[in-house]
Amino acid sequence: MTQAQSSEEKAQLKVQWTRLAIDQALANQWEEAITTNRNILNIFPNEPEAYNRLGKAYSELGRYSEARQAYNQTLKYNPNNSIAKKNLDRLSMLQEELVTTHAGAERIDPRLFIEETGKTGTSDLINIAPTSILARVGVGDKVQLHVSGHTIFARNAAGEDIGQLEPRLANRLINFMEG
């Protein structure tokens, strides 16, 4: 086997494992994603994106010190990586011993969010919760909508309010729900 073939095979393996790691993350298979990203790092130890994915997987499992280590490794190889910086800032708000995480909380596959004109939409929340509460909410976490008068609150799995729907949208939804 020549050096060129070996490098080419490694590059193909990296692409395959990267796709697998992303698919595992999208399916909320965090332990498997950790293993796959570790495999990538065994062959490509200077790969910042693998460290970012590893940090995300550790965060989702509530393993915050390991997540911090992974994001710091990202910054070692790519000091300007905004994803790692943002996630380290988020993790700095969390203290493992004080935070009750919902590592096993039910998640929604992000691929299910398909916009259909007239049936779906997006909206920003208003009167949002403090960052200490928001830091515990992740992409794909289920939230419950709670109607109180003419206001709709979005609540996390722990029942904490994370914000309110905009009044115009809240009124439309309340009217729709009341039939």
Report the alpha-carbon distance of residue 72 to residue 17 in Å, rounded: 22
Q: What is the mean pLDDT of residues 131-135?
A: 80
Statement: residue 64 has pLDDT above 80: yes
CA angle (11 as vertex; 9, 12 as ends), nearest 5: 65
User: Looking at the chain, which residues constitute the CATH 1.25.40.10 domain(s)?
Assistant: 3-92
Report the alpha-carbon distance of residue 179 to residue 170 in Å, rounded: 14
**For 102, phi and psi rounded to 5 degrees?**
-115, 60
pTM over 0.85: no
pLDDT at 173 (0 to 100): 86
CATH of 3-92, one of 3.40.50.10490, 1.25.40.10, 3.40.50.150, 1.10.3720.10: 1.25.40.10
Q: How confident is the model at residue 116 (pLDDT cuts 50, 70, 90)?
A: low
pLDDT digits (tens, 9 = 90+) for 20-48: 999 999 888 999 999 999 999 999 999 99
Q: Which residue has the higher pLDDT, 118 or 127?
A: 127
pLDDT at 98 (0 to 100): 43
Q: For the chain, give the mean pLDDT.
A: 83
